[in-house]
Chain A
Amino acid sequence: MTDDILELTGDDRLVLGDLLNHVLDKGIVISGDVTISVADIDLIRVGLGIYITAIQSELDHAAARERAAPDADVPVLRHPGGL
């Protein structure tokens, strides 16, 4: 179902940042005692930080590429283990 999604090759930081954002910061909590330690928060912040930095960098590069070749596609991410 995702065959036509372009992969952003060679930039695992993007996938990693989104992975951490989803797994560490979202999802159900049914027991009510998931404890977020300082270390957890740091990891989330690091994950989001590299994600946002990388995505803005990639978009800046995409804008530069588009100026050079206006018909070029903007990359779309896909998790390597997609459905």
Chain B
Amino acid sequence: MPTYLYCVIPAGCEPPADSRRGVDAAPVRELCAGGLAAWVSDVPDRAIAPSVSRARAHDDVVRDAMARATPVPARFGQVLAGDQEAVALLDERRESLLESLERVHGCVEMTVRILLAGQTAVPGAAPRQSGSAYLRWVRERQQVRQAVSDQAEFLRRGVARAVEEAGVVREIMWATIAPGTRTLEAAHLVPRSLIARHREVVRGTVERDHRMKVMVSGPWAPYTFCAAAHE
């Protein structure tokens, strides 16, 4: 029967409770190999369609593992041929999985979103009535894009400096700003004991120093930081 993977944690941690259920209410169990434990469950088919309830079930299992140790979470939909393949992959990827576990040890992921101020929307469709109007439109579009880029870079530096000086972050990964949006997003890898302090520093920096709005969500398992190491 195919095996669905939720996360990997160091071997020796308390295994999932007998009552723990995962995707489609299947019992969750662990497979151990080479000092690693994979939390898995059976699924009837290797093709599994995403749904909100399945995504919630996946994350609930990962959060349960977080109560024992910081896990390396798997992406939704990782279905292996069976337990044998899962154990073989644990062995094969052991070194990089151990590196990821060490990287995120004792931390959670916090998502930081900053709403950029001012005009961030590129002007509408290009005018067709004249060449000069078109050139003005191009210039305005470039100015808006440059302003967004400058503002985002200024904020990136300010926030990074503040959280690093306060010692409340281990790593930061910034997302690219999607064209036409005004949200600057980053994932922060934060020691578990510093979640509240991290939020205070971020809010203080963005709201008081930069006079912009910020929202922080989390704590999450370190999905973003583990993804980058295995792609």
Q: A residues bordering B, Cβ < 8 Å? A: 1-2, 4-5, 14-16, 18-20, 22-31, 34-37, 39-40, 43, 52, 55-56, 58-59, 62-63, 74-79, 81-83
User: Across the interface, do B75 and A34 meet the contact criterion of CB distance under 8 Å?
Assistant: yes
Inter-subunit contact B196/A27 (CB<8 Å): no
Are A27's CB and B50's CB within 8 A? no
Asked whether, in the complex, the Cβ of B215 is within 8 Å of the Cβ of A27, the reply is no
- Mostly, the B contact residues are mixed
**B125 at the A interface (CB under 8 A):** no
Total B residues in contact with A, Cβ cutoff 8 Å:
59
| Contact A28 B66, CB 8 Å, known A1-B195, A77-B217, A79-B217 | no
29 contacts between A and B (CB under 8 A): A2-B219, A5-B195, A14-B217, A15-B217, A19-B56, A19-B59, A22-B223, A24-B55, A24-B76, A26-B223, A27-B73, A27-B227, A28-B72, A28-B227, A28-B229, A28-B230, A29-B74, A29-B230, A31-B78, A31-B89, A35-B47, A36-B77, A43-B50, A58-B215, A63-B213, A78-B218, A79-B219, A81-B59, A83-B219
Tell me, rounded to whole Å, the shortest Cβ–Cβ distance linking B202 to chain A: 9
Residues of B within 8 Å of A79, CB to CB, are 63, 217-220
